[in-house]
């Protein structure tokens, strides 16, 4: 049986985990974050939400060390649950990764149009109130094509791209935060919360699963570790990804609230960049922020592309979807068919434009939390040591609460009909693919 190429090191796994997690939400939807909770609500929402992920991260670290399988949650749940649970878990996690790809492909057009306004021309049609412009659509499709080719050609090429964009983003982040905060003032912070403190924190915590999804992507590339790699590196990469991710989000929210009167800027496009320009009084910092955002967009797009394609490949290899998706390229040793499927599906979703941005955030949160719940429950059923079972139980409970706070109709910020529609379409597609795979096997 052909195997995937074994090329990755600990630094590559960190860049994959953190890079898959932190995208451009801190630039594109900062207004939504602050309107949900205000600066302090945003800070505490991400800090508490990130801290709650530590037990889940620990469980994933233990599972990846024990089962370095590209199937990830599919493999973990298959160990103790029926195949239907395994399939449902894998399909939801595939959604969690895949759904980020068109989000980033659309976002690249929004960011580029801020730099080059001429891209907002040649309107093709509208989805709701959102126009679809030909230049922005073309740019997103070109980026999708580039990442499809990179991942088709080989994991080492994709990992090198991930490392450069991940560490480049961190370097530019330090530059603009230090420059902007030196000109800010505490008077800009109020109001600290947009609702009551607990409601503000709660509304932000609802979206944390989406914006913190990625640390568990380490497991999807576990089969591609270099021969010298030690299994403990998986745990290190996951812990570092969660820690650096929480720090990144907390610092950027605090900085935006500190550098400018944020309440006056929530109606502006890319309020993070506008706030820092307001503080520094010069346009150069906007260019630094937008460059950091573009690098961050590339890495999170690539990281989620890697995770989605590997998980889809592993499901095909196990016969949960069409087994042709589980084929490996004989020369590149990549899951070529799965890569092409993710690339084509991303390009198709791009035609919905900006209308998909906020609903994707909500649906992606539930998909991620569902996968975390299932993985922790599976580890609990594997009967590890008593202390590890407690951690697994806590992780499963956190995952369950993250799902319930979006689907229960009496919870603030619950799903609306468009989000239920998007989730329903994905579940229907999964049922159709599963049925087709069973027919093919028979």
pLDDT in tens, 3-34: 788 889 999 999 999 988 888 888 888 998 99
Residue 358's pLDDT band (boundaries 50, 70, 90)?
low
In a domain, 309, yes or no: yes
Q: Is residue 375 part of a domain?
A: yes
> Within a domain: residue 167?
yes
**For residue 96, what is the domain's CATH number?**
1.20.1740.10
Which tens digits make up the pLDDT trace of 261-282?
Answer: 998 888 888 889 999 998 888 8
Residue by residue, DSSP assigns 229-290 as: --THHHHHHHHHHHHHHHHHHHHHHHHHHHHS-GGGGTTSTTHHHHHHHHHH-STHHHHHHH
**Contact (Cβ atoms closer than 8 angstroms) between residue 6 and residue 224:** yes
With the C-alpha atoms ordered 271, 304, 215, 155, is the resulting torsion angle positive or negative?
A: negative
User: What pLDDT is recorded for position 118?
Assistant: 87
- Minimum mean pLDDT range among 142-146, 155-159, 185-189: 155-159
pLDDT digits (tens, 9 = 90+) for 45-82: 999 999 988 999 999 999 999 999 888 899 999 999 99
- Residue matched to tokens 């306004």: 117
What tokens appear for 21 in the block? 């997690």
In a domain, 69, yes or no: yes
Tokens of residue 138, six digits: 């073309």
CA distance 322 to 55: 34
Q: How far is CA 296 from CA 169, 232, 279, in A?
A: 6, 27, 23
Q: What is the DSSP letter of 206?
A: T
Quick one: pLDDT band at residue 119, thresholds 50, 70, 90?
confident
Cβ atoms of 374 and 85 within 8 Å: the answer is yes
Domain extent for 418: 10-436
Q: What is the pLDDT of residue 155?
A: 83
Place of tokens 């939807």: 29
Q: Give per-residue pLDDT as tens, 366-397.
A: 888 899 999 999 999 998 899 999 999 999 99
Cα 368 versus chain centre, distance: 9
Strand partners, 8: 225
Q: Residue 418 pLDDT > 80, yes or no? A: no
Q: Which distant-in-sequence residues (6+ apart) come within 8 Å of 406 by Cβ?
A: 206, 362, 365, 366, 369, 413, 414, 415
**Count of domains for the chain:** 1
User: Is there a contact between 99 and 363 (Cβ–Cβ < 8 Å)?
Assistant: yes
Asked whether residue 248 is assigned to any structural domain, the reply reads yes
What does pLDDT average to over the chain? 88
Does some domain include residue 4? no
Tell me how many degrees the CA angle 42-46-49 measures, rounded to the nearest 5: 135
How far CA 216 is from CA of 306, 357, 382, in Å, comes to: 12, 23, 19
List the Cα angle 69/221/367 in 5-degree steps: 85
Please give the model's pTM, rounded to 2 decimal places. 0.86
Collapse the DSSP code of 147 into the 3-class scheme (helix H, G, I; strand E, B; otherwise coil) and give the result. Answer: helix
């Amino acid at each position: 049986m052909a195997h995937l190429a074994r090329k990755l090191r600990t630094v590559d796994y960190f860049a994959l985990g953190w890079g898959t997690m932190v995208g451009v939400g801190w630039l594109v939807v900062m207004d939504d974050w602050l309107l949900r909770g205000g600066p302090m609500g945003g800070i505490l929402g991400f800090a508490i939400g990130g801290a709650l992920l530590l037990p889940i991260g620990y469980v994933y670290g233990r599972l990846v060390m024990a089962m370095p399988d590209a199937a990830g949650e599919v493999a973990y749940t298959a160990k103790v649950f029926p195949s239907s649970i395994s399939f449902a878990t894998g399909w939801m996690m595939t959604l969690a990764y895949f759904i980020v790809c068109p989000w980033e492909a659309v976002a690249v057009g929004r960011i580029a149009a801020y730099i080059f306004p001429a891209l907002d021309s040649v309107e093709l049609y509208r989805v709701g109130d959102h126009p679809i412009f030909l230049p922005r659509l073309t740019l997103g499709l070109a980026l999708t094509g580039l990442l499809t080719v990179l991942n088709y050609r080989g994991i080492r090429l994709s990992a090198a791209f991930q490392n450069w964009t991940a560490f480049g983003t961190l370097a530019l982040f330090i530059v603009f935060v230090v420059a902007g905060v030196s000109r800010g003032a505490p008077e800009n912070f109020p109001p600290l919360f947009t609702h009551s403190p607990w409601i503000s924190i709660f509304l932000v915590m609802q979206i944390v699963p989406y914006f913190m999804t990625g640390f568990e992507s380490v497991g999807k590339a576990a089969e591609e570790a270099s021969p010298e790699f030690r299994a403990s590196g998986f745990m290190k990469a996951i812990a570092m990804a969660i820690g650096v991710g929480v720090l990144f989000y907390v610092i950027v929210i605090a900085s935006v609230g500190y550098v400018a009167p944020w309440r006056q800027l929530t109606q502006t496009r890319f309020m993070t960049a506008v706030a820092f320009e307001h503080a520094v009084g010069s346009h150069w910092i906007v260019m630094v922020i937008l460059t950091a955002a573009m690098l961050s967009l590339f890495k999170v797009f690539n990281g989620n592309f890697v995770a989605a394609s590997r998980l889809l490949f592993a499901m095909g290899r196990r016969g949960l979807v069409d087994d042709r998706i589980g084929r490996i390229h004989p020369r590149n040793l990549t899951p070529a068919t799965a890569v092409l499927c993710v690339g084509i599906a991303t390009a198709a979703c791009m035609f919905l434009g900006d209308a998909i941005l906020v609903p994707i955030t909500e649906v992606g949160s539930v998909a991620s939390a569902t996968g975390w719940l299932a993985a922790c429950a599976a580890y609990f059923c594997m009967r590890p040591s008593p202390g590890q079972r407690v951690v697994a139980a806590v992780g499963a409970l956190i995952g369950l609460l993250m799902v319930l706070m979006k689907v229960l109709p009496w919870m603030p910020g619950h799903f609306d009909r468009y989000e239920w529609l998007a989730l329903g379409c994905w579940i229907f597609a999964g049922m159709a693919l599963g049925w087709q795979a069973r027919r093919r096997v028979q």
